[in-house]
Chains A and B, each alone.
Chain A
Amino acid sequence: DGGITQSPKYLFRKEGQNVTLSCEQNLNHDAMYWYRQDPGQGLRLIYYSQIVNDFQKGDIAEGYSVSREKKESFPLTVTSAQKNPTAFYLCASEGSVNVLTFGAGSRLTVL
């Protein structure tokens, strides 16, 4: 089954710690995205990557970092510099133009 796998589904972090959220796709898509979802708000773009070894900041990139060393993988690191990291994080890839396929999401809670 082709799709996007995000892990872990739930993650707890202590203040001051960095955490990395995994996103893997087997759809052979070039473009990948990370979104943050907060209650009552739309999806906000953190980072996106159109090709391997290239990525661009989205609207809320501060406190986050990414890498794109392989086409299949686009991990997101939430650093200690992110002031309010508790949120639901969604990874997506784009195959046919304009069609986003989302993963099931990762819920990060800061203790």
Chain B
Amino acid sequence: GENVEQHPSTLSVQEGDSAVIKCTYSDSASNYFPWYKQELGKGPQLIIDIRSNVGEKKDQRIAVTLNKTAKHFSLHITETQPEDSAVYFCAARFDNFNKFYFGSGTKLNVKP
């Protein structure tokens, strides 16, 4: 089955700096890669996603890049703000297959 690895497990940045979280996956059939943000005591929320036919996707301060050859994808947050502090999860999925495979999460701390 698919295996998703996520790094780093914790990340501390100064407000205004950029943050990058990286994930690798093992199954080349995976073609959908979402990123979720989980605030303390809440369920994860989808923040951005990318399909395997696209190399990069941007939404304001958040971007995701995908390298299909290397089987890795990354979340980039620019101009970080304290409200970006949360746990971020990456995931991988193959269409028409019900399982999402999640990474182990990255706790991002943005220091004011």
Q: Which residues of A contact B (CB under 8 A)?
A: 4, 6, 31, 35, 40-45, 48, 50, 56, 58-59, 90, 92, 97-100, 102-105
Check A90/B104 contact, CB under 8 A, given A97-B95, A98-B34. Answer: no
The size bracket of the interface on B is 20 to 34
Given A56-B98, A98-B49, decide whether A104 and B43 contact each other with a Cβ distance below 8 A.
yes
From A4, A56, A100, give the contact of B100 (CB < 8 A).
A100
Q: Select which of A31, A50, A99, A105 is within 8 A of B43 by beta carbon.
A: A105
State A110–B84 Cα separation when bound (angstroms).
32
Main secondary structure of the interface of A (DSSP, over half): strand
Taking a contact as CB atoms under 8 Å apart, the answer to whether B105 and A42 are in contact is yes
A97 → chain B, closest Cβ, in Å? 7
Given contacts A40-B9, A98-B93, contact A104 B42 (CB under 8 A): yes
Identify 22 residue pairs between A and B in the complex whose beta-carbon atoms are under 8 Å apart, listed by A's number.
Answer: A4-B43, A40-B9, A40-B105, A41-B105, A42-B104, A43-B89, A43-B100, A45-B99, A45-B100, A48-B98, A48-B99, A50-B98, A56-B98, A59-B99, A90-B44, A98-B49, A99-B46, A100-B34, A100-B36, A102-B44, A103-B43, A104-B43
What 1/0 mask marks residues of chain B from 2 to 26 whose CB sits below 8 Å from any chain A CB? 0010100100000000000000000
Report the minimal beta-carbon distance from B4 to chain A, rounded to whole angstroms.
7
Knowing A40-B104, A42-B102 are in contact, say whether A100-B46 is a contact too (CB < 8 A). yes
B9→A90 contact, CB < 8 A: no
Interface residue B67 (Cβ < 8 Å from any Cβ of A): no
List chain B residues, Cβ under 8 A from A43.
44, 89, 100, 102
Interface residues of B in 12-59 (CB under 8 A from A): 32, 34, 36, 41-46, 49
- Knowing A90-B43, A103-B43 are in contact, say whether A42-B89 is a contact too (CB < 8 A): yes
Q: Measured between alpha carbons, how far is A27 from B93 in the docked complex, in Å?
A: 22
Expressed in whole angstroms, the Cα–Cα distance for A78 and B46 within the complex equals 27
Closest to A44 in B: B102
On whether the beta carbons of B103 and A102 are closer than 8 Å, the reply is no
